[in-house]
């Protein structure tokens, strides 16, 4: 089995590490680098809990090898809030609308919603956010809190009510 030295940036910090070829990106982020905000649940691409951004694009960190992230800019949920602790709008919306309960799926949900809100503007945003949620399983909320958070992010949260 081969080992590889990789260099990557996580939430703006540069890291260099030696990894086994088979090590998944999510496992590497958690166990080697200590970014335990990324949650691993199913570890085979079904649940979406481990979603991170790689070069700004939301993807499942269990479906990518750490060695494949060599040279990449990775953002995890720890990188969403501002340095002073101010929550990212997506985190604030999830908090305001009880869009989480146990919180296990939340980091992945937050990364997807953050990527989609950054890439879409205006009319299609609510639909884009809701569609992208098909890639996440949440066993607590029944999704309604997350949908309210999405409406808030799409700008009509006030009109729709909680």
Partner 1 sequence: MKPAPFDYVRPSSVEEACRVLAEAGGGATVIAGGQTLMPLLALRMSQPFILVDINHIAALKGVTRVAGGTRVGPATRQADALRDETLARHLPAFVTALGHVGHYQTRNRGTVGGSVALGEPAAEMPATAVALGARIEIASVRGTRTVPADEFYLGPYMTVLEPDELVTGVVYPDWPDGHLVLFREVAQRPGDFALVGLVGALALESGLIARAGVGWFGMGPTPIRARQAEDALVGSALDRIDPQAMARLALADTAPFDDHHVSAEYRRTVGARIFARALAETLGIRSAA
- Residue 89 and residue 120 in contact, taking contact as beta carbons nearer than 8 Å: no
Q: Distance between alpha carbon 41 and the CA centroid of its chain, in Å?
A: 13
- Decide: is 32 part of the binding site for partner 1 (CB under 8 A): no
Contacts 24+ apart (CB under 8 A), 35-38: 35/10, 35/11, 35/76, 35/78, 37/76, 37/77, 37/78, 37/107, 38/76, 38/77, 38/107, 38/108
Per-residue x/- track, 103-142, partner 1 (CB under 8 A)? ---------x---x--------------xx-xx-------
Q: Which residue has the tokens 């890439």?
A: 119
Q: What's 156's DSSP letter? A: -
Q: Pick one of 67, 77, 100, 138: the residue that binds partner 1 (CB under 8 A).
A: 67
- Decide: is 6 part of the binding site for partner 1 (CB under 8 A): no
Give residues 75-104 in contact with partner 1 (rule: CB under 8 A): none
Q: Give the binding range for partner 1 (CB under 8 A) out of 30-38, 65-73, 94-102, 153-161.
A: 65-73
Binding site for partner 1 (CB under 8 A): 1-2, 4, 20-22, 24, 27, 42-46, 48, 51, 57-60, 62-65, 67-68, 112, 116, 131-132, 134-135
């Amino acid at each position: 089995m081969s080992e590889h030295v990789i260099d990557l940036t996580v939430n703006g910090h540069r890291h260099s590490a030696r990894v086994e070829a088979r090590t998944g990106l999510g496992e590497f982020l958690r166990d080697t680098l200590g970014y335990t905000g990324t949650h691993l649940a199913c570890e085979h691409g079904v649940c979406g809990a481990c979603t991170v951004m790689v070069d700004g694009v939301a993807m499942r960190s269990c479906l990518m090898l750490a060695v494949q992230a060599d040279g990449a800019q990775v953002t995890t949920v720890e990188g969403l809030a501002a340095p002073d602790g101010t929550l990212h709008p997506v985190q604030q919306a999830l908090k305001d609308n009880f869009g989480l309960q146990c919180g296990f799926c939340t980091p992945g949900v937050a990364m997807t919603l953050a990527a989609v809100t950054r890439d879409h503007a205006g009319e299609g945003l609510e639909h884009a956010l809701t569609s992208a949620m098909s890639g996440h399983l949440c066993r607590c909320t029944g999704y309604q809190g997350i949908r309210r958070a999405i409406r808030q992010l799409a700008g009509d949260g006030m009109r729709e009510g909680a």
